[in-house]
Chains A and B, each alone.
Chain A
Amino acid sequence: MDPSEVEFLAEKETVKIIPNFSLDKIYLIGGDLGPFNPGLPVDVPVWLALNLKQRQKCRIVPPAWMDVEKLEEMRELERKENAFTPAPSPYYMELTKLLLNYASDNIPKADEIRTLVKDLWDTRIAKLRLSADKFISQLEAHAKLDNLTLMEINTIRAFLLDSLNCMYKLRSNLLPGSSKGQFTDY
C-alpha cells in the first residue's frame, strides 16, 4: 500500500461543513448526503468537503480533536507513555494534511496545529522505530500493534518486512546445520 492509497481511504472520513448553497438530499451509493442548507452544518466525506471547499461552496468545521489544547495534551501524553496512546483519529495525519492544505483559512491556529501534529507523528514514529529495533535485537517472534494508525504501519511495513526477510536469509545461511530457510534462497 502506498501513502496515496491510505490517504484515499482517509477521504472517506466524515467532516462537518457549513455550505453556502442549498441542495436537496443526494443519494449516493456510499450513503445519503445532505440536505444542504446554507449556514447549517452538515456531515460529508472529506473528499466532498475538499472539493466543495475548493469551489468556495462551503466552510469546513475542523474536527473536534483538531484543537491546539487537545493536541498539546495528546502530545504530552504520547511523550510520557512508553506504549502508543490512542491516536486522535485513525487518520489524523492524513486529515491534518488534507484539511490544512486546502482549508487552512477555516481552521484556527492552523500553523500551530500543523506543528503539533507533526510533533505527535514524530514522537510516534520514533517510538515505532525504537520498538522495531528492540523487536529485532531481542529476536522477538511477534509484536502488538495497538493504537497504530494505518499510515504509521504503512511507513514502516515495507522496510521492516524486507529487512526481516533479509536478516532471516542471512541468519539461516550463517547456521549451515539448520535446514530452515535454505529452500527460500535457492
Chain B
Amino acid sequence: MPCERKPMRYGHSEGHTEVCFDDSGRFLVTCGNDGDVRIWEGLDDDDPKFITVGEKAYSLALKNGKLVTASSNNTVQIHTFPDGDPDGILTRFTTNATHVAFNSSGSRVAAGSSDFMVKVVEVSDSSQQKTLRGHEAPVLSVTLDPKDDFLASASCDGSVAVWNIEEQSQLIRWPLLQKTNDVSNAKSLCRLAWQPAGALAVPVETKVHLYARGSWDLASTLSDDLQTQLINVVAWSPCGRFLAAGGVGGSLTVWDVTSELCVERQKHEKGFTVCGLAWSPSGSQLAYTDTEGCLGLLDGLGSSSSTSSSSTSTKPARKAAEDYDDLFDDDDDGRLMDEGLSDGNNSPVKKPVAGDDEDDDDCLMPATGRPRNRGAVLDDELSLGERGSLFCSAVTPAAPPPGPLRPVYEGPLPTPPQKAFQPGSTPAHLTHRFMMWNSVGIVRGYNDDQDNAVDVEFHDTAVHHAMHLTNSLGHTMADLSQEAVTGSYLMVLRTRAAIQEAGSVHQGGAKVLQVGHERSLTINTPGFDGDQALGVQLLRLGPRKRQLIRGEALPLSHRSHLTWLGFTAEGTPCYADSEGAVRMLNRSLGNTWTPVCNTGETCKSRSDHYWVVGVHENPQQLRCIPCKGSRYPPTLPRPAVAILPFKLPMCQTSTEKGLMEEQFLRSVLFENHFGFLSASGYEVDEEAQTRSQKEQQELLMKMFALSCKLEREFRCVELAELMTHNAVTLAIRYASRSRRMGLAQRLSEVALEKANRLQQQQEEEEEESEEEPDNRPEQVEQVPEPGEEEEEEEQAEEMEQDEEPETRKRQFHRGLVFVPPQVSSSASFSPSAAAPPRGTNILDNMASGRKASPLAGSAGKANKGPVLKPLPPRPRSKTQSTLLQMTSSKKKTQGITQKQPEAPPPAPPPAPPADSGENERPKTGFQLWLEENRKSICADHPELEETEVIKEAMGRFRTLSAEERLVRAPLPPPPPPRAPERSLKGLMRRLHLLKVFQLIRPTEQISRWVNKGGGGCNDAPPPFIHTIPNRH
C-alpha cells in the first residue's frame, strides 16, 4: 500500500473523540470525552499540550488561531491557539452542542445542538447570531457552504437539510437517515462536508451522496463494494478532489471524486468505529479518531493520489450513467490493471465505483477459485486487492506483489517472515532495554532524552567489574562472552547496519568450546498458514571447518516465532519459540531437534511468558526470566532469573513408569554432550558423566524391578538390552531371586550378546585409533586462559592428596603441550621447560627438567571436575581444627611448612590434623615422593589396587633416610588465588558457627571467645564443638 498506516495511540478516555489539524499542519488537535483538548506536535508527540475546556468536549473546530469547542456546559467556547487561553463564549444552547464548524474564511461558526437548533455566529461579534429552527430532533452535524450562503445540517429526525443563512429558511430537505431520539443512539453521526468547489457530501448508510450546490440534485454516489457498514464521517481533502470517509467498524476509504474511484482503503487496526476525520492542510495526511479515544494517522496519501490521478486522468470523466460504465467496464479494468502493475502499485482495487453486476462477479470468482477465461492477470489482481483489504491487519504491509500470470491462489497465505533479532535482547525500539542477557552478564542500553548509554554488568564480578559506557555511536547490538584469551571480556558491538541483514550472525560464547563454534541463522523462507519455515545452519569453525547442519528447517510450534537461539553452556545448539517450547539438538539421533521443555506449561496465565536467557545441561537448568503479561522483561525493577527444570513431553508422566521413563530419556539426552565434547577433543567432566550414567543404570534397574513386579517379561528384556553389562548381571540376579528363571535365562542371553558386541566394538576402536591419530592438533590449539588457570589451581589445591597414575600421565602430557600465554610470548621455551607461571620457583630449583610434572600437571588439569577415582576416603577432620585453621590460616600454614619435613605423615588417608585445613593444603614430602615414584611402583606391582599402591609406597618411603626425605621438602603453598572466595567460604562457616554458638551459649561467653581471636589456636575451644556432627 502506498499510504502508511501509523500505529494508533491513546488520545483520550473512551468515548466520542474528534480531531483536526491546525492551519499550518504542524499540530494535530483532538478533543474527547475527558473534556481535554490535546495539541499534538505530530503523532509521535509523547507529551502533548492540553487545554481543559469542560467536563466533556463534544466537538471542536480550529481556524485562524481560534479554537472553538462544544463542551458539556451547553456552551460553545473559544480558546486561543496554540496558547489555549479562554477567549470568551461564542454562544449557548439549552442543552449541549453536538457539532461545531467554521466556514472557509474562519469568520463564522456554525453549531448544532441537541435542542434541535442550529446557530451561525460571527466569530468577531458573538451578538450577531442566526438561528435556524426546523429540525425535529437533535442536530447531528452542520457544515457551512464555502461561499457562506448556505448551511447544511443533519438531524436525528432522519433529515438532511440545507438552509439559507441570511433568510434563516430551509431550502431543501432530504429524508435520508434513520430516525433516532438522540445523538448517542444515532447509528451514524452523519458528518456532512462541503467540497471547496461546491458539492455537498452526505454519508448515507454505506455510500456517500454528492449533491450539486444550487440545483441540489444528486450528482453522484460514491460507494465501495467492501464497505459493508455505515459511514460515520466524511471529509474533503483541501484540494477538493479526494473524499475520505470513516465508518462504523473502522473502515477508512478515500475516493477520487473526479473518477469516482476508491483510491485508498484501510482498516482501523482494532476495528473501532471512526468518529473523527481530518485532512492535513497539505493533503498528504489523514488523521482519524475512534470512539475509544485513540488517534491514528494515514501518511503518504498525496503520493498515492497522484499516481492514481495520473492513471485515471487519461480516462474520460465517468460521471455518466451507470449503464455507460457497464459497457466499458472490461476494458477499463484491464487497462487499469496494467497500469497498476507498471508502477508497482497494487494497493486498492482500481475498479469503477458504480457497483455494476459484471464487476461484482469478478470479485466473487477468484474467491471460489474457479479458473476463468478472462485473463488471469485481472482476476489475480482483483483477488489480491480484495484480500489485501480483508486481511488488512495481518498481511497488508508485507504482502509482496505476486508475479504476473500466477494462477489464482486462494489457499493459506504466506506468513510474514520474522524480523531479524538477536537472542537474549529485548526489542530495539524500547528506550530502556536489555541489549544482551546471557550466562556471562547483562548489557543494558538506555536511549532517552538525558542519556544514551550502555551499562555492562557481569554476573560474576570476578570476571570484570561493571562498566558504564556512553553510546554516542548508537550501537544497538551487544554481546558478552568470557572467552577472550586475556581472560577478561570480549565485547562485540555492532551498529544498526548489521541489523538490516536478514539474519543475525552471532559469535558463539560457549566457553567450553574455546576454539569457538559460530552459528549463523538465516530467516528467509516464508512459511504458510501461520507456520514459518526457518532454516538453520550449524558451522564448526576452528582447525576443521565444517558445516554440520546445512540450512535445514527449524521446527517451530504452530503460529509461533523464534525467540531464542543459542548454545547451551555445554555447546549443544538449542532454541526456544514464542509458544514456549524449548528444543535441543539431539546429536545421537542424526541432528534432530528434541523438545526438552515447554515453558508455557509453567506460566500462570496466558499472557505470561518466560524469556529464555540460557540453557545448561549440567546441571540441567533452563534459565529464564518470568515476564508477567509480556514477552520481554522490563529493565526496572530488575527481573530475577528463574530456573525451570527440563521435562520431555512423554505420555503417562503421572504414573511411576512414565516418570522414570522420562527421567531416563532426559538423562540420556543430556548426557549426549559428554560424548560430543570428548569427540571434539575437549576435557570432559568425567565425574558428572559417570554420575549420570550411574543414574541411568539405576533408573533402568528400577524400571526393571517395576516391570518384574508387574510380570511384563518382554519389557524386562527390552530394558535389559538398554543396560550395561554390569547392570544386566544385577538384573539376572534380581530375576532369579524373584523366581523368574525363564526371564533370567533370557537375560543371560542378552548379557552374552552384549559382551560379544562390546568385544567387537573394542576391536574396531583399536583399528580406528590406529587409523586416525589426528585428534591432537586441536588440543594443541587449546590455550588455557589465565582465568581458567586460576580455577584450575584452585582445584589443584582442593585436590585429594593422591592421584591416579593414568590421569597424572595425561596431565603430564598436557602439561607439555600446553604453553601458557605468558610463557609463549617470551620466545624459545622447549616444551619440557615450559613451567607454569605460578609458584614454581622452589620446584624448579629443586628438581629441574622433568620435575615440572606435578605442578604443571595440576595447573594444566581439566577445568571442571578433576578426574579423581574413589580413593580411600580421607576423613576431613572438620571439627575444631577446621575452625582454628580458618581463623589463622596464614600463620598456620607457614608453621606447617616448617614442621613437616621432619615429620612426614605416617599415612595419607587419615591426614594429620595440622594440615587438614581445607583451604591451603601443602603437599607433603610423601606425596611428592609418591608422585614421582608411583610409576615405578605400578610397574613393579601391576596387580595392585590403588590403596595398596599407596601402602606399598608408604613402606618404601619409610625406608628412605632422613636426608632423602628432606629433599622432598613440600612446596610452600601456592599463593591463594581468588582469595576473596576462599576466605568467603571460611567466613560463612565462621559466621554460621557463631550463630549456632549464640543459640546455645550465653552471648557474653561467646563474645569473649570471639574477642580472643575467634578460637585462636592456643585457646581451648568451647568443649561442645566436639559434638558438632561431621558433614562429610
Contact = CB atoms under 8 A, between A and B. Distances in A.
B991 A40 contact: no
Interface in B622-676: 623, 636-638, 640-643
A61 B637 CA distance: 11
B710 interface: no
Contacts, number: 77
B127 interface: no
A23 B989 CA distance: 13
B479 to A, nearest CB: 16
A22 B460 contact: yes
A8 B991 CA distance: 13
A33 B988 contact: yes
B991 A21 contact: no
Given A21-B981, A23-B981, A28 B989 contact: yes
Contact of B641 (A11, A18, A30, A56): A18
Nearest to B437: A39
B995 interface: yes
A21 B980 contact: yes
A37 B463 CA distance: 13
B461 interface: yes
Contacts of A30: 992, 995-996
Contact of B998 (A8, A20, A41): A8
Residue of B458, B637, B1032 with most chain A CB atoms under a 10 A cut-off: B637
A21 B984 contact: yes
B461 A29 contact: no
A126 interface: no
Given A18-B640, A30-B996, A39 B985 contact: no
B996 A41 contact: no
B980 A26 contact: no
B459 interface: yes
Interface string A23-64: 100111110010001111100000110010001110101000
Contacts of B993: 29
Contacts of B981: 21-23
B583 to A, nearest CB: 23
Given A28-B989, A40-B623, A21 B1031 contact: no
Given A8-B998, A18-B641, A41-B640, A28 B992 contact: yes
A2 to B, nearest CB: 11
B989 A21 contact: no
A29 B623 contact: no
B985 A21 contact: no
A108 interface: yes
B461 A26 contact: no
A26 B458 contact: no
A105 to B, nearest CB: 11
Contacts of A38: 458-462
Main SS of chain B's interface residues?
mixed
B1028 A51 contact: no
A41 to B, nearest CB: 5
Contacts of B996: 29-30
A77 to B, nearest CB: 23
A16 B439 CA distance: 19
A18 B625 CA distance: 13
B1028 A27 contact: no
Interface string B604-630: 000000000000000001010000000
A21 B998 CA distance: 28
Contacts of B441: 39
A50 to B, nearest CB: 10
Residue of B458, B995, B1028 with most chain A CB atoms under a 10 A cut-off: B995
A61 B626 CA distance: 14
B1029 interface: yes
Residue of A18, A39, A47, A61 with most chain B CB atoms under a 10 A cut-off: A39
A126 to B, nearest CB: 32
A48 B441 CA distance: 24
Contact of A39 (B460, B991, B992): B460
Nearest to A51: B991
A12 B993 CA distance: 13
Nearest to B466: A20
B989 A20 contact: no
A29 B641 contact: no
A26 B985 contact: yes
Nearest to A8: B998
B641 A41 contact: yes
A21 B462 contact: yes
A148 to B, nearest CB: 23
A110 to B, nearest CB: 11
Interface in B984-1007: 984-985, 987-989, 991-993, 995-996, 998
A27 B995 CA distance: 15
A48 B991 contact: yes
Contact of B640 (A16, A22, A56): A16
B991 A29 contact: no
A31 to B, nearest CB: 10
A55 B991 CA distance: 14
B641 A39 contact: yes
A173 B1015 CA distance: 55
A12 to B, nearest CB: 8
A39 B995 contact: no
Contacts of A37: 459
Nearest to A55: B984
Contacts of A8: 998
B1029 A29 contact: yes
A16 B459 CA distance: 16
Contact of A29 (B459, B621, B980, B992): B992
Residue of B621, B984, B987, B989 with most chain A CB atoms under a 10 A cut-off: B984
B637 A108 contact: yes
A23 B984 CA distance: 9
A164 B799 CA distance: 65
Contact of B459 (A11, A23, A39): A39
A21 B465 CA distance: 12
Contact of A40 (B461, B462, B641, B984): B641
Interface in B854-877: none
A22 B459 CA distance: 9
A42 to B, nearest CB: 10
B988 A28 contact: yes
A24 to B, nearest CB: 8
A36 to B, nearest CB: 9
A65 to B, nearest CB: 15
A28 B1032 CA distance: 10
A27 B1031 contact: yes
Contacts of B641: 18, 39-41
Contacts of A18: 640-641
Contacts of B621: 40
Nearest to B459: A39
Nearest to B462: A21
Nearest to B1030: A27
Nearest to B1029: A29
Contacts of A39: 439, 441, 459-460, 641
Interface string B957-996: 0000000000000000000000011001101110111011
Given A29-B1028, A39-B459, A23 B998 contact: no
Given A23-B985, A26-B985, A47 B995 contact: yes
A38 B441 CA distance: 9
8 contacts: A16-B640, A20-B458, A21-B461, A37-B459, A38-B461, A38-B462, A41-B641, A56-B461
Interface of B: 439, 441, 458-462, 621, 623, 636-638, 640-643, 980-981, 984-985, 987-989, 991-993, 995-996, 998, 1028-1029, 1031-1032
3 cross-chain pairs, A with B, having the tightest CB-CB distances, nearest first? A39-B459, A38-B460, A38-B459
Given A41-B640, A51-B988, 13 more contacts: A18-B640, A18-B641, A21-B462, A22-B462, A27-B1031, A27-B1032, A29-B1028, A38-B459, A38-B460, A39-B641, A40-B459, A40-B643, A56-B461
Interface of A: 8, 11-12, 16, 18, 20-23, 26-30, 33, 37-41, 47-48, 51, 55-57, 59, 61, 108
